[in-house]
Amino acid sequence: MTMKLTSVGLCVLCLSILGHSGSILAAERKTPTAPEDVLKMKNPVLLTPEVLQEATTIYKDKCIKCHGATGNGKGSGTKGMDVKPRDYTDKSVMEKIPDGQLFWITLNGSDPDTTEMEGYKKKLTEEQVWKLVHYIRSFAP
């Protein structure tokens, strides 16, 4: 009995090593939390069709390969990633993430040790990031 369980355990261990190409344990999500005052912020950019249009263009250029065309987080660039982007088409997921948090992570990136979500501080203006926040929200209207 003990022997059997041990072999099952070893098998599971092997599979998890194979499954995560090199890492022994799957990485946990360790998304940093924005500072209190940022979390409370409302999107200062007025939502207009032009704003969504501009955000779509930026998203296609810089975000789509990971976050996916529909925002479901299954873009082609996520293959083999331990910590994948969340599903932005899921309302129950999006309800729990304030605008300020979306803004902060886009600007500063997520945990660099476990995710490939870089910060866009140097590539985008804060206004452009707020526009992207509107766009991200539009995946789960």
Q: How far is the CB of 120 from ligand HEC (least distance, A)?
A: 5
132 binds ligand HEC (CB under 6 A): yes
Tokens 């948090």 found at: 101
Backbone torsion region of residue 21, taken as left when φ is above 0, otherwise alpha when ψ lies between -120 and 50, otherwise beta: left
Q: Smaller CB distance to ligand HEC: residue 8 or 54?
A: 54
User: Cα(79)–Cα(120) distance, rounded to whole angstroms?
Assistant: 22
Closest CA to 63 of 111, 17, 7, 131: 131
User: Cα(117)–Cα(104) distance, rounded to whole angstroms?
Assistant: 12
Exactly one of 34, 66, 94, 107 binds ligand HEC (CB under 6 A); that residue is 66
Region from 11-19, 33-41, 44-52, 105-113 binding ligand HEC, contact rule CB under 6 A = 105-113
Q: Smaller CB distance to ligand HEC: residue 7 or 92?
A: 92
Give the count of beta carbons closer than 10 Å to the beta carbon of residue 56: 15
Q: How far is the CB of 24 from ligand HEC (least distance, A)?
A: 20
65 binds ligand HEC (CB under 6 A): yes
CA distances from 62 to 84, 131, 133 (A): 16, 14, 14
Region from 8-16, 17-25, 39-47, 111-119 binding ligand HEC, contact rule CB under 6 A = 111-119
Q: Smaller CB distance to ligand HEC: residue 6 or 125?
A: 125
User: Cα(50)–Cα(29) distance, rounded to whole angstroms?
Assistant: 34
Binding site for ligand HEC (CB under 6 A): 29, 31, 62-63, 65-67, 77, 81, 83-86, 97, 102, 105-106, 110-111, 115-117, 120, 132
